[in-house]
Chain A
């Protein structure tokens, strides 16, 4: 079982729709969760971080964490063509440990 798994892509949504990206992790004691966006040929950039169960909203982005189900998701509301990128889920187990990335989900927002 992979440490961090993301829903297989690519994912295609029309402009203005909600894009839903999902991620599961294997280590039950994981404590920190991050979503990164990566444009083609560029390096990852941080979008959201979440540490407690529940929802965390930042503009059009909402991260959701359910530690009991070992599940973290990212919702993008009112999707824009500029949101077209690969979204990487990353998980950290404890202080000093590595940040482990999933394989990424490629999102395309169609005008």
Chain B
């Protein structure tokens, strides 16, 4: 079964450093999502792409976070500079374009900022 690939699996960084996460969605999935999940809470959408275009980044802290999906396939999420409060699981998901298509999640990147 096709999977959403994410790397790295774990990342430890010091505050004020830059960090980047990578995601490769399931082939053919036009919609790609980045979610952040703080321990004990539900996932919160950071950014949603339709092909290479951003369709929702209303909850992305744009002063420090950036995301791109240049060719409409894989995507990178960057944080610069990282803050202690950024420690969380960063989940990438993808779906077909159809309205009722469910999201398929990758294994996530566990970020710890020290």
Contacts and interface: CB of A to CB of B under 8 A. Distances in A.
Interface in A34-77: 34, 41-46, 49, 51
Interface in B4-44: 33, 35, 40-44
B32 to A, nearest CB: 12
Given A32-B100, A46-B102, A49-B102, A101 B107 contact: no
A42 B107 contact: yes
Interface of A: 4, 31-32, 34, 41-46, 49, 51, 88, 90, 92, 94-104
A61 to B, nearest CB: 14
B102 A34 contact: yes
Interface residues of B: mostly helix, strand, loop or mixed? Answer: strand
Contacts of B113: none
Nearest to B104: A46
Contacts of B50: 96
B45 to A, nearest CB: 5
Contacts of B104: 46
Interface string B78-114: 0000000000010100000001101111111010000
A43 B108 contact: yes
B103 A99 contact: yes
18 contacts: A32-B99, A32-B100, A42-B107, A43-B89, A43-B105, A44-B91, A44-B105, A46-B104, A51-B100, A88-B42, A95-B99, A98-B33, A98-B45, A98-B56, A101-B35, A101-B42, A101-B44, A104-B42
Nearest to B100: A32
Contacts of B70: none
B45 A99 contact: yes
Contacts of A34: 102-103
Contact of A88 (B33, B43, B89): B43
A103 B68 CA distance: 27
